[in-house]
Amino acid sequence: LKRHDEVEDYKKQRIEAPIPQNPENDLQAIAIEEEAPREITLGPSGTTVKENDFERIQWFSAALATRNLLTLLFDEETLATHTINRLSHTFHLQDRVLKPTLDFEKVSDAIYCIQRRFGCSEMEVRELIIMTCSNMARTLQSRRI
């Protein structure tokens, strides 16, 4: 008796389902919706990343999340050759290397996102960004050797 009721419910659902007016156009619309990647806004400046990429960030620690987020926003070459402020971290050398700065809006949105997630200070996140840039520079330099 239970099986009979399930079959009857299934038949009702099939009968009550709306018949599409133009199935070909409906399928195209569905395909377009699935293709369009959804984006997540990181902070008040409006920097966005793809939702799929954002979900792959490893949120185990602020350092790891910062590194993952920065690699979404910038390519390795940019991270290796840029920094937050003009002077690189090699300030102890006499000939200070001037590096270009990273995009301010992207950096501020990354800081905002990490702060909200981990509750750390802006200075802590800035230090993590500086470390990420210097690590990328070292990695890139070792690949070239």
Ordered DSSP codes for 101-145: BPPHHHHHHHHHHHHHHH---HHHHHHHHHHHHHHHHHHHHHHH-
Global pTM exceeds 0.85: no
Is 125 found in the same domain as 100?
Answer: yes
Higher pLDDT, 32 or 143: 143
In tens, the pLDDT along 64-119 reads: 999 999 999 999 999 999 988 755 555 555 556 678 999 999 999 999 999 999 99
pLDDT at 17: 45
End-to-end CA distance of the chain: 76
> What is the total count of domains within the chain?
2
Q: What is the CATH classification number for the domain harbouring 130?
A: 1.10.10.2590
Ordered DSSP codes for 2-52: HHHHHHHHHHHHHHHSPPPSSHHHHHHHHHHHHHS--EEE-STT--EEEHH
CA distance 129 to 107: 9
Is 106 found in the same domain as 43?
Answer: yes
Q: Is residue 125 scored above 70 in pLDDT? A: yes
Is 71 found in the same domain as 93?
Answer: yes
Q: What is the mean pLDDT of residues 137-144?
A: 88
Is 119 found in the same domain as 88?
Answer: yes
Is 70 found in the same domain as 107?
Answer: yes
Which residue range forms the structural domain that includes residue 81?
Answer: 39-144
